[in-house]
Structure 1
């Protein structure tokens, strides 16, 4: 079976987890703190906060930005449902806008049209690892005094060129960036997430709220020479990452550049092998973006049935996934009629499929996938 994805884990991660387990400190502790320091240094952000997953990261970002009932957040429906759910957790309204069909990312022109006096934030999703047009979105956010939150769940290791300089996603392009370390992502801690920011007040709120808004962290109390009684300053959350996960994450960080290099090579090879299939639309990068190629998404010819080709490939032991979901089509959001047209988002869900791509993928396995796609499309 050729899976859609495979986490790049080995003895190094197993040994790191073992050391954390045997240290006697397995919840949030020194490994989490070290992971935060190393991640912030890697992406060029002044502050980083590790959390339990990217959904909780998005929720914390919105809570820290004081988003609440009556507020609107402009974002893409074309994203995993966690993006929209994080807005609803706050009692706010997700205002969905369409994507650019060339990048599968939120269209800044559509964002501009959707801003109202109730708009408080923009969540820009770096879909499948490809960076959004951050300069355009940041300009809109500044113009309307909005918080720009980057949903970078898929984008660890991706880069964007700003003023002629290549910078990693996670540096302070918006106010807050949220990452995922789910096994489908480029690096993983099993589950886990990270927030980065350049604003110390946001960082203070993240670290306070992820641990029940506890006035004195347990790491401080356990190391104190005097008895300390903590207080709970607000209604916080249990959104902590464990030291076991962080130890794995620190090891994964050392492999990130190599993983991204390999994935970029695999993506380029897919493009070479599939480039002459009539009607098949391949993904591409703007000249100002470098994707980590978390996924390789192809748009099928109009006459091809998405489910049929996915089943045909599965029958050959090749896993695929449909195009990225649209939250507005899910029953949980059925009562909210979209205010803006989402045709490109719906076409991307209905006409695209994701092909297997992971760092350990062999050239032979990739050729097998490409040959099967060509055969099923009549080439």
Structure 2
């Protein structure tokens, strides 16, 4: 047997939560890995919905109880696609049952919950199980190419960045009972929408050191914010601006990185291809050098879109080797830690340093930090 325990048979996969994201993103990703991964069960608290889902996707076993599914099916990997409030408890249950996890974003409702998840994982070098968070934008070939160029010093030193998630969610979107509430969704567009671009920015620029932010409830009927803005300083000295909105009729996801030798831009909405990245050399950079930055794509190199499929391929590779996936443990925590710092700064009106987000800080336990005017009022 391999360390992950799958030699001689396919990787047995189960899905927890059969709402929209499971069918739209996770099933196609799993179909792309059908040569080594088989969906053997699905679970949802809605019996009718899980039966319909299993019938539609030829999944042999339907459950309405996670513990029962874990006990009877013994999956190698569980895709957790439930609302955010359920993530921590369900991910920990899967890990304790010996299953690896791919958990939808946001990973959970607080750093305290995330650290519970990490504590339930296997130790590094143990072969798992591990819980990876869905941060699929790290895994497209465009991001991989830029990461390699930065690591090789080809683009120079990062100086300035912009990270914009300008999306639109109408009033009806927030009529779903668990949306827009701290206790069930955990946060607003900063946590649930902008987290995609934030994670990609952090994966390229490294550790942040300080954040100054604002948040507002400008139009939607929510407990959380519907817009936030932040200024960020990184450990390298680079600085960035971050915008998260669900109030923007012309939707766009935009990242810009200004380095000493180039400006790199990414424009897309919910997923990118290589053509969505552009490189502008600084005046002192020779044309031949700049041409090499995008040569692999022009020469027919693999154009891998950012997608659940790209991340699942990397995760299954890790599972087969018994290695920790890059968006688990500390690799997944950095993004939630940044989001926590942004909320703390926005709700307290002061700059936040990374090192202060520790147990005992109210924002470590809840992203509203019990802040008056933001935390839900407690009745008598």
TM-score higher than 0.5: no
TM-score by length of 2: 0.30
Q: Which has the higher contact order (CA 8 A, sep 6+)?
A: 1
Q: Quick check: which one's strand share is greater?
A: 2
